[in-house]
Amino acid sequence: MSEGSSSTTSVVEEERLNWRRGSGPESGDVVVYWMQQAQRAEHNPALEFAITTANDHDLPVAVVFCLVDDVPEASLRHYHFMVEGLHRLDGALRRRGMAFEVLRGQPDRILGDLNHRMALLVLDRGYLPMQRRWRDDVEEATDCPVVEVETDVVVPVDVASDKLETAARTLRPRIHDHLERFLVDLATTPVSRSSVPGGDRPVSLARSLSDSSISSFPLDRWRTELDELPISREPGPVAGWTGGTPAARARLRAFCRDVLPDYATRRNRYDVADSCSRLSPYLHFGQISPVAVAVAARSSGAPADEVDAFVEELVVRRELAINYVVHQPDVDSFTSLPRWARRTLDDHRADERPTVYTAAELEAGKTDDRVWNAIMTAIRTDGWVHNQLRMYWGKQILYWTNTPGHAFRTLLDLNNRYFLDGRDANSYANVAWCFGRHDQGFQEREVIGKLRPFTDAALRRKGDLDAWVDSVTGGDDQAG
Ligand SMILES: Cc1cc2nc3c(=O)[nH]c(=O)nc-3n(C[C@H](O)[C@H](O)[C@H](O)COP(=O)(O)OP(=O)(O)OC[C@H]3O[C@@H](n4cnc5c(N)ncnc54)[C@H](O)[C@@H]3O)c2cc1C
């Protein structure tokens, strides 16, 4: 049940902290926060913990972001949105008295090279395999105290559950047991020792680097610097999306005012512009905090049932996805799917498919299904589509590929390369959902066996499908 108001704290909950080495600052002249998951200067428990600890030890805080240019499946589409956000963050951190440096290179090389400066290294927690690997490598490359802070969930993952949850129904009561305790607004703590140029303890970490392969990424020239990065240029940036916390905050305000008051009835309307928050890319890059979003929703004055419906998506569904990637190995592999789902797909392996398309035909949206083609076009162009359209899009691929394993790989690849919110815990959990994860068996059918079907008739019940397809194609689409 939602409650109207929430309190504010300046203390980061003990359950968000994991001391990976040591228990407080030791020798070194600065507390360094290596920002990775939580790319924001507000409502960020890792940042606030770094500040309060530094203040207690009369130390300055500096924030470092390691720009890695070989992240699998990431392209200019994602880098543009992220770096635009970092550019806005630069000003916000400086205004709070903290030096912010974006350094190009692998996190373990950069932080290993800065080891001698760090009285304490603060990390934010990341859940995906690559994020976990980065943190393990950084811990190994340093010998200073290291604390990891859980920044991007409402209920800390290990507090909610210590095992792989079967479905939303099993995680929901566990989340609700702790929700009130963790749905608390986090206050900002003033920095005692300013580390910005002109402050009383200016810090330049870039000047202490000895590894010449590491270079600075100047945010004041971010657009031209992006042109130089050796990253995939396709797909490119999407129009209509501005990266960064100010844009996320503006979107949240508009959502709470215009959409939330009837979110429960409107949220499945894929054919109207504003039926949901469209915050997923901002949540993915940590440009807004899920706690701050939930607190804003609760204090918006929207009816309790509507707020509860939103909290169900934002907290229960989103944190179910995080539980999945934390506890399920090989989330990028078909073998990660539940046994019943693999078995039923195996039973139907030999069923005749209506048509088999190549991965390139699917990517280009060249099938005989005009609805699917329009969705794929929107994904390529806009980098985001409504959840209902994603469900139809994901479920169809099984019919058009010769093996379920190939269907799984194709869907995950398209999802992660094209969606602005791709490469997220939600990406892996929802692609897996198309193949039975967090779901139950249904009446057996050709090709998909006991998996839940999702037809265009379901889309037609929820909105004006033809009008939506026309809005994408301009009415002159051709299948095939
Ligand atoms: C095949 C398929 C692929 C998907 N791929 C992604 C992906 O790559 N990245 C991604 O973030 N989401 C993915 N989703 C989940 C969902 O479609 C998006 O999170 C949602 O559409 C984002 O829109 P919104 O921010 O307006 O959501 P809102 O309705 O405003 O909900 C608020 C937030 O709740 C969370 N949420 C909403 N729906 C879900 C859900 N089904 N599962 C988990 N969390 C949810 C999101 O963080 C979302 O931003 C996928 C769903 C499907 C069916």
48 CB neighbour count, 10 Å cutoff: 22
Categorize the per-residue pLDDT at 8 as very low, low, confident or very high, splitting at 50, 70 and 90.
Answer: confident
Whether the bond into 107 is cis, omega within 30 of 0: no
The C-alpha atoms of residue 453 and residue 391 are separated, in whole angstroms, by 10
The whole-number pLDDT of residue 63 equals 98
State whether residue 19 is helix, strand or coil. Answer: strand
The C-alpha atoms of residue 13 and residue 33 are separated, in whole angstroms, by 18
Categorize the per-residue pLDDT at 6 as very low, low, confident or very high, splitting at 50, 70 and 90.
Answer: low
145-174 burial: b if 16+ Cβ within 10 Å, else e? bbbbbbbbbbbbbebbbeeebeeeeebbeb
Helix, strand, coil % in the chain, rounded to nearest 5? 50, 10, 40
The whole-number pLDDT of residue 47 equals 98
Residue-wise pLDDT tens digits, 90-113 = 999 999 999 999 999 999 999 999
Beta carbon of 418 within 6 Å of any ligand 1 atom: no
Which is higher by pLDDT, 227 or 5?
Answer: 227
The whole-number pLDDT of residue 479 equals 54
The whole-number pLDDT of residue 61 equals 98
The C-alpha atoms of residue 436 and residue 345 are separated, in whole angstroms, by 10
Q: Residue type at 266?
A: R
Residue that is written with structure tokens 């924001």 in the block: 40
pLDDT for 41 beyond 60: yes
The whole-number pLDDT of residue 3 equals 46
The whole-number pLDDT of residue 117 equals 97
The C-alpha atoms of residue 79 and residue 136 are separated, in whole angstroms, by 24
128, 78 Cβ separation under 8 angstroms: no
The rounded Cα 225 to chain-centroid distance in angstroms is 24
pLDDT for 4 beyond 80: no
413 CB neighbour count, 10 Å cutoff: 17
Which residue has its alpha carbon closest to ligand 1 atom 33?
A: 314
The whole-number pLDDT of residue 222 equals 97
Instruction: State mean pLDDT over 422-449.
Output: 98
The whole-number pLDDT of residue 478 equals 57
The C-alpha atoms of residue 371 and residue 456 are separated, in whole angstroms, by 8
The C-alpha atoms of residue 64 and residue 60 are separated, in whole angstroms, by 13
Beta carbon of 424 within 6 Å of any ligand 1 atom: yes
pLDDT for 1 beyond 60: no
Q: What is the largest CA-CA distance in the chain?
A: 73
Beta carbon of 336 within 6 Å of any ligand 1 atom: no
Q: What's the CATH architecture for 334-473? A: Orthogonal Bundle (1.10)
| C-alpha of residue 426 to centroid of ligand 1, in Å | 7
Average pLDDT over the chain, rounded to an integer: 96
Please name which of 241, 214, 293 lies closest in space to residue 78, comparing C-alpha atoms. 241
Categorize the per-residue pLDDT at 475 as very low, low, confident or very high, splitting at 50, 70 and 90.
Answer: confident
Pairing between β-strand 99-104 and β-strand 8-9 as defined by DSSP bridges: unpaired
The C-alpha atoms of residue 425 and residue 431 are separated, in whole angstroms, by 10
The whole-number pLDDT of residue 273 equals 87
State whether residue 216 is helix, strand or coil. Answer: strand
**pLDDT > 90 fraction of the chain, expressed in percent and rounded:** 96
pLDDT for 388 beyond 60: yes
Helix 465-473 to helix 370-382 angle, to the nearest 10 degrees? 50
Pairing between β-strand 118-124 and β-strand 30-34 as defined by DSSP bridges: parallel
Site to probe by mutation for ligand 1, drawn from 289, 430, 434 as the one with most ligand atoms within 8 Å of Cβ, is 430
| C-alpha of residue 59 to centroid of ligand 1, in Å | 40
The whole-number pLDDT of residue 345 equals 98
Which is higher by pLDDT, 474 or 86?
Answer: 86
The whole-number pLDDT of residue 10 equals 81
Instruction: State mean pLDDT over 114-138.
Output: 98
- Close Cβ partners of 367 (under 8 Å, ≥ 6 residues apart): 355, 357, 361, 373, 400, 479, 480
State which ligand 1 atom lies nearest to the alpha carbon of 267: 29
Beta carbon of 35 within 6 Å of any ligand 1 atom: no
The C-alpha atoms of residue 436 and residue 418 are separated, in whole angstroms, by 23
The whole-number pLDDT of residue 226 equals 97
Instruction: State mean pLDDT over 462-476.
Output: 94
Q: Residue type at 39?
A: Q
258 CB neighbour count, 10 Å cutoff: 10
Beta carbon of 323 within 6 Å of any ligand 1 atom: no
Categorize the per-residue pLDDT at 380 as very low, low, confident or very high, splitting at 50, 70 and 90.
Answer: very high
pLDDT for 69 beyond 70: yes
